[in-house]
Structure 1
């Protein structure tokens, strides 16, 4: 007994199906053009690709009726012979619509070729089953394409993040910018670099395990690029163009939690450090450098907020040997106080080194305590730091040390004058 006899389809019916295969494929293509306006607008090569898949499907259907054990291979074959870019040009929804139309044409045209009512019933059931197999085969093709595309995007994303951390874009390399553009990143968008530990579920979480972080960023209306580098998670978060000026001033570097919002919850345990706002990817290396320096120094401040701005960790970063932190302390504290003239620096040093005792500072400077109060108030106005606050006092003390070291280095680098030069 043959397989066709087991199915109840006679060889004569199979022969009629084979002869009708060409007309059936043409009918499917005509129905697709009639019911889906976008199909008629496809380029000729893509319509030819769909026709090729349809013809193969019809031929495989006839073969499937006689070879039930070959179902999976035959249905998958219809998509393997399709042009490589067909799955990229047609969305999954469009492909499902085309499969549905082809199945309806099969239901309409194939059963009438049966020799009797029993064969008619068998052909109807076979069309439905084969249509289901084709749909699953299409879904498998698109799932594989999406997985490959996701893996490729993940590699591109990792390269962009690594390039920013290493400063490739800052050095004039176009690779970082072009890869970011492929991922949909706006090259003109301002960016913050946020670093911390990856989620604790896995030591090296795949990109799909960070969907919560991406979802939170999307709700904020911002783009995000994520890279896991060993035991640290590096996130590039774009800043909306409309808020690059005023909004950044409103948020401020001292309150990064208002910038990154719920994204912090997607990091692992430990400190989360936010770098300063950079104008774009070409300048983002400085933000990454400060953020990573802050992450290394963060354990020195156990009570630091989460997240914490990299600029709020300047004392700890300076103690770790960060030359940028040394320079920034001098620029933001020592230089404004020195430019203001008077005795602000001398008063601040005496106040801090005297343990914060106002009266003792006044006696050491031979001035009235109100004069000391006035000078300290001026220090607060110029630096934004309150000398009486313990944390601010640590920043000011470290800035004084950095300023003295900078002055000593400057004196050592100054040209030496001989006695003859002095006489001239």
Structure 2
């Protein structure tokens, strides 16, 4: 007749534990086993020796709780028990930040090894196999409990980090970034890169967490630091680590939905990123007016559309960066550019209107390019220059009332 299965300790019908002698020995040995486990950790785990006394004492309590939980589990193996609460509930939540999952696994393994080495001394004669098999099952349960504790901690940190990141991104986009936002960004791992720009576009449908993770993967590949989030229907990325905003936008463009993607100008730091964000937001709003706009496009390339759409910063930028430098360079440049644009970009026509040689017009237009960075012979640049001239004249009150 086959022997009954004894892989789990069973309670007799009378209520007396079937392995009462072993259970009694286990209870008496729990203190010494915990002390041996702590001594083994101190001997074999360098990270444990390097920890402050407070954390070492908490780890000692966890080891003691683990052995006590095994004793209780051996007493009632079929009773529903929350091992994670029994073992790790003795330690503060901060302990999961103080020691890594790998270190916790080493701690649990060391404790289990100490208990396993003491089986022959602790088990009553004939119970060695039962106790060993019970310890194997318990080791599996404690491994799952360890994973659960760290998974819950990671989820909590992830949810908190996501809320914190959303606050930073919203502060930058709304113009409310301050030292508090910088501090929150630092807590998220933002290392204050020298060059920062903001990239805006339409967020794709579906899970925003997947979109954010896709942005992070692209940023890691491009060696960029990012703070990102989905705000309404917009996907916002604050990127640091490159002084080329169009290259940044191209490296991160994959997760964006179809439609325009606009990169704001590069600024010095996170506090100044509001200017980049506002330029990108204005460019995204005005981008529909330029049907052939590239994707991605710089916010500064959309200055005329932004100005027409009512963006005061774009109007000011066109006046200060184009009209004023031309004005300071002499009236001849302004007059020549104005006539050239009004004569359908004809050198000969402008020369006739100005009573000068076409080569003179050609020279002055080259000077316009040198002064402003925009070439009158390029259709797109000519449009930008024309808008700048109109806004400059309006600013000077040159038009009749």
- Matches of 1:9 and 1:42 in 2, distance apart? 42
Q: Distance in 1 between matches of 2:399 and 2:22?
A: 99
Provide the rounded CA distance (Å) in 1 between the counterparts of 2:281 and 2:93: 43
Aligned with 2:271: secondary structure? helix
Q: Does 1:291 align with 2:280?
A: yes
More helix by share: 1
The worse-fitting range, judged by mean Cα deviation, of 121-130 and 104-113 is 104-113
Instruction: Give, in angstroms, the shift of residue 342 of structure 1.
Output: 4.2
Query: 2:310 is matched with which residue?
Result: 321
- How far apart, CA to CA, are the structure 2 residues paired with 1:70 and 1:411? 92
Answering whether residue 122 of structure 2 is matched by residue 113 of structure 1, we say yes
1:149-199 CA-to-partner distances (Å, cap 9, x unmatched) read: 111111111111111222223xxx421122122222234633111111223
Cα distance in structure 1, aligned partners of 2:53 and 2:397: 76
The alpha-carbon distance between structure 1 residues 20 and 326, as it changes in their structure 2 partners (threshold 3 A), is: same
Pairwise CA RMSD: 2.4
Residue in structure 2 matched with residue 269 of structure 1 by the alignment: 258
Which of 168, 173, 182 is equivalent to 2:176? 168
Structure 1 segment 15-26 matched on structure 2, within 5 A: 15-26=24-35
Mean CA deviation greater in 158-167 or 217-226: 217-226
Q: 1:57 and 1:389, CA in 2 relative to 1: closer, same or farther beyond 3 A? A: same
Q: Which residue of 2 aligns with 1:191?
A: 196
Q: 1:33 to 1:409 in 2, by over 3 A?
A: farther
Q: Are residues 410 and 33 of structure 1, via their aligned partners in 2, closer, same or farther at CA, if it must alter by over 3 Å? A: farther
2:5 equivalent to 1:3: no
Deviation at 1:126, TM superposition (A): 1.2
1:128 lines up with 2:136 in the alignment: yes
Determine if contact 2:212/2:229 at 8 Å carries over to the other structure.
no
Q: 1:133 to 1:71 in 2, by over 3 A?
A: farther
Change (3 A) 1:9 1:145: same
Deviation at 1:99, TM superposition (A): 0.7
CA distance in 2, matches of 1:295, 1:178: 29
**Cα distance per residue 1:54-89 (max 9 Å; x no partner):** 222212212212312335423542112222322121
Residue of structure 2 aligned with 1:154, choices 156, 162, 187: 162
| 2:215 alignment partner, one of 193, 213, 216 | 213
Deviations 1:25-74 (A, max 9, x none): 11111111111022123222222212222222212212212312335423
Partner of 1:387: 376
Q: Alpha-carbon deviations, 1:284-303, whole Å to 9, x = none? A: 21111111111111111122
Note if contact 2:333-2:365 (Cα within 8 Å) is conserved in structure 1: yes
How far off is 1:324 after superposition? 0.9
CA 1:75–1:212: 2 relative to 1, 3 Å: closer
TM-score (norm 1): 0.86
2:240 is matched with 238
TM-score when scaled to structure 2? 0.90
Report whether the alignment pairs 1:406 with 2:400.
no
1:27-46 matched pairs, under 5 angstroms: 27-46=36-55
Q: Which of 360, 371, 383 matches 1:371?
A: 360
Q: Aligned pairs, how many?
A: 391
Q: Which one of the candidate residues 133, 140, 149 is aligned to 2:148?
A: 140
Task: Check conservation: 2:84, 2:148, Cα contact below 8 A.
Answer: no
Q: Which runs of no fewer than 5 residues in structure 1 stay unpaired?
A: 241-247, 413-424
Report if the CA contact (8 A) 2:84-2:149 is conserved.
Answer: no
1:50 aligns with 2:55: no
Conservation of the 8 A alpha-carbon contact between 1:156 and 1:179: yes
| SS state at 2:294 partner | coil
- 8 Å contact 2:83–2:145 — kept in the other structure? no
2:205 maps to which of 200, 203, 209? 200
Instruction: Label 1:211 to 1:236 Cα distance change in 2 as closer, same or farther (>3 A).
Output: same
The change in CA–CA distance for 1:188 and 1:388 in structure 2 (over 3 A counts) is closer
In 1, the alpha carbon distance for the partners of 2:260 and 2:249 equals: 14
> Aligned with 1:225: secondary structure?
strand
